[in-house]
Amino acid sequence: MAEFTLDLNDDQKQVRDWLHGFAADVIRPAASEWDEREETPWPVIQEAAKVGIYSLDFYAQQFFDPTGLGIPMAMEELFWGDAGIALSIVGTGLAAVGVLANGTEEQIGTWIPQMYGDANDVKVAAFCSSEPDAGSDVGSMRTRAVYDQAKDEWVLNGTKTWATNGGIANVHVVVAVVDAELGSKGHASFIVPPDTAGLSQGQKFKKHGIRASHTAEVVLEDVRVPGHCLLGGKEKLDQRLARARERAASGGGERVKNAAMATFEASRPAVGAMAVGTARAAYEVALDYAKTRTQFGRPIIDNQGIAFQLADMRTQIDAARLLVWRASWMAATGKQFESAEGSMSKLYASETAKKVTAQAIQILGGNGFTREYPVERMHRDAAIYTIFEGTSEIQRLVIARTLSGMPIR
């Protein structure tokens, strides 16, 4: 078990500095353009692939960092550069986590490389869980997967929404209902391979923030996938469903994780780290501005009203980072989230990002309200952290139910 420390080791510092340089030199100069275009920044993703950032190997190295700090450190630096572009670079990771959390070794080895492609032929992947009537309430999911035993195929029908890279992905990971009577415990995840008939992109959303990241509906009409595309395999699914039916029949209260929840639980501290990166970026802009902007013959940071805001901003950012690092370290060292520490990290970091970016605009005054300064974009981007992968309200519900011992459905 790795010993806990707040000091990054030399390898981690080297990776952090490398990522920071890429964020400063490649991501930031392109941020405003791709935000205005509201398109996937393929040239930037390709540059990330060329240097090894957008690759399975890089994320695997960070994922298996024994301290657990590899992924949150990487997320913070990339999102410090720009949230929209960074999400385009890391969005494939959610689908990859879905496969890692639920798939067999063969499925992991087969499908995750196809999610990334290579530097000469970049690909992306999409994780499709949310639906028009099933966001936080995953139990209301309507997308169905029916097994055709004669052909050993699963037939998927339904509509997914809010899918990062939805419709443009090479590989889609789709969560669907296989047993409606079991609610969220009757869900399973499926790989939809490239060019599968029946899968199409629906509405592409024009968003308030993270506009360089592609978000769209995914429509599934009689989509047939081979039996081996069921993550984890049919035998494992049948066993899990049988246990869930037995517990339902006996009135047992033991919790069974569903496919979507398993993915979200593994990724929430990483989302917290994204929020920390955006908050830190806005804070640094506000700090530099406050030191150079002069009013009434002195820098505005000499005014207590500004200085105290900056002190609070920095304190909240550091506190958010520590919560993210704690949750990441706990996950890496096999410690249970007995008090929903993962949700705590996502909740606090998300709320901090919204608050800090709003304060940054206030410190810059009229300049902060214009697109000539990046804090306006950062504030728009920060709004998503309290919404996706579990709203702040859902995080509070998870925390409260964990503390009280109530089941999380």
Nearest alpha-carbon partner for 350 in 396, 312, 308: 396
List Cα–Cα distances, 67 to 3, 12, 19, 73, in angstroms. Answer: 8, 10, 18, 11
Exposure of 336 by Cβ count < 10 A (0-12 exposed, 13-18 middle, 19+ buried)? Answer: exposed
Task: Please give the backbone phi and psi of residue 299, each rounded to the nearest 5 degrees, phi first.
Answer: -60, 145
What is the C-alpha separation between 201 and 218, in angstroms, rounded? Answer: 5
Which conformational region is residue 66 in: left (phi greater than 0), alpha (psi within -120 to 50 degrees), or beta?
alpha
389 catalytic per annotation: yes
- Note the helical H segments in 150-258: 234-250
Largest CA distance in the chain: 82
Is the CB of residue 165 less than 8 Å from the CB of residue 127?
no
Give the DSSP letter string of 186-201: GEEEEEE-TT-TTEEE
Q: How many angstroms separate the CA atoms of 375 and 243, rounded?
A: 51
* 317, 276 Cβ separation under 8 angstroms: yes
Q: Give 75's DSSP letter.
A: H
CB 307 within 8 A of CB 105: no
Name the 3-class secondary structure at 204.
Answer: strand
List of E strands, 124-244: 125-128, 144-148, 153-164, 171-177, 187-192, 199-204, 215-226
The CA-based angle 84-90-94, given to 5 degrees, is 115
**Pairing outcome for strands 125-128 and 171-177:** parallel
The single residue of 39, 153, 389, 393 carrying the catalytic annotation is 389
Q: Which residues contact 110 (CB under 8 A, 6 or more apart)?
A: none
Hey, what's the torsion of the CAs at 1, 261, 280, 383, to 10 degrees?
A: -170
Catalytic residues: 389
